[in-house]
Amino acid sequence: MSYSNNYETSYTSYGGGGGGGGGFIPGDGSQNSPSGGPKDYTRDTVRPVTIKQINDAQSVGEEFKIDGAQVAQLTFVGQIRNVSSQTTNLTYKLDDGTGSMEAKHWNDKDTADEPSPGREKLVEGAYCRVWGKLKSFNDRKHVVATIIRPVEDKNEISYHLLEATYVHLHFTRGPIGEGSGGGGGSNGAAQQQDSGGHGGAALAGHNSVAKRVYEYLRTTPQTNEGLHQQDIASNLKIDAAEVSAAGDQLLADGLIYTTVDDSTWAILETD
């Protein structure tokens, strides 16, 4: 699947030979440099993230870490809430349902008079994808955008959240099929048995409302769009505010994701 839309950028390859390179590739990424020393190519890869992950990124000097892994280039999808135009840059305030973030796109004086592909579509209310680097000024994070382009296919929004979740789980739980002791199959089975197959050990720290919301999403017939939180609250006879808070917890832990809007959820893990 590719949403590059005429840009020479691919971020969907996970070491399987697909795409055109430039995407995040799980693994240590270390290979020998011409000088004979190891070079970490993961620092040059593009990592898909959510805005919450950007806001929670840990600062290490001038570098940043997400899930304990250093990140240089990143990409995310968000809805434009505001556009501010200055002489030297355009600042977009973006929201993806997990938080908000400013992306600054600096004007290139050599190409300032040339039309930018899709620029006229980058308006308030529209969705866009950003590629860039995370920076901080006066303890306030922002993204210096290399590319900002409009999202033409709404499926890209859900696709990106799934991709960001996959990479997050890679760093926090290890590669698919690998357990903490090398016995991936038995370890995975043990986790599923301990949790009753309902979202793994991650649900252990959630309250009863979050567990009921997750179980309802897991067992209720639904379309690919998932279920709206008002429907969940009505059917479970739980206050809508409690369901919303439970959804925030499940979203933060990567157990569910938003679909058509911030209040419609679908489950990421199934039996």
Q: What is the pLDDT of residues 30-83, one digit of tens each?
A: 444 444 444 444 455 789 999 999 999 998 888 899 998 888 899 999 999 999
Nearest to 11 by CA among 189, 216, 188, 156: 156
pLDDT of residue 43: 54
pLDDT of residue 48: 94
Q: Is the pLDDT of residue 27 over 70?
A: no
pLDDT confidence tier of residue 199, bands split at 50, 70 and 90: low
Element (H, E) at 160: helix 155-173
What average pLDDT does the structure give for the chain? 76
List the structure tokens of 199: 């979202």
pLDDT of residue 177: 64
pLDDT confidence tier of residue 22, bands split at 50, 70 and 90: very low
pTM of the model: 0.54
Same fold, 47-156 and 195-271: no
As beta bridge partners, residue 145 has 132
- Looking at 102-116, 199-213, 244-258, which range is the least confident one? 102-116
**Rounded distance, CA 50 to CA 83, Å?**
20
Cβ(147)–Cβ(130) below 8 Å: yes
pLDDT confidence tier of residue 221, bands split at 50, 70 and 90: confident
Architecture of domain 195-271: Orthogonal Bundle (1.10)
Q: Which residues contact 205 (CB under 8 A, 6 or more apart)?
A: none
Q: Which fold has domain 47-156?
A: OB fold (Dihydrolipoamide Acetyltransferase, E2P) (2.40.50)
**Rounded distance, CA 145 to CA 83, Å?**
14
Q: Is the pLDDT of residue 234 over 60?
A: yes
Query: DSSP label at 177?
Result: T
For the chain, domain boundaries: 47-156, 195-271
What separation in angstroms does the CA of 206 have from each of 50, 164, 253? 21, 22, 10
pLDDT of residue 262: 85
**What whole-number percentage of the chain has pLDDT above 70?**
69
pLDDT of residue 195: 40
Nearest to 232 by CA among 252, 250, 205: 250
**Rounded distance, CA 9 to CA 7, Å?**
5
- Which sign, positive or negative, has the C-alpha torsion 169, 171, 174, 175? positive
> Greater confidence, 124 or 174?
124
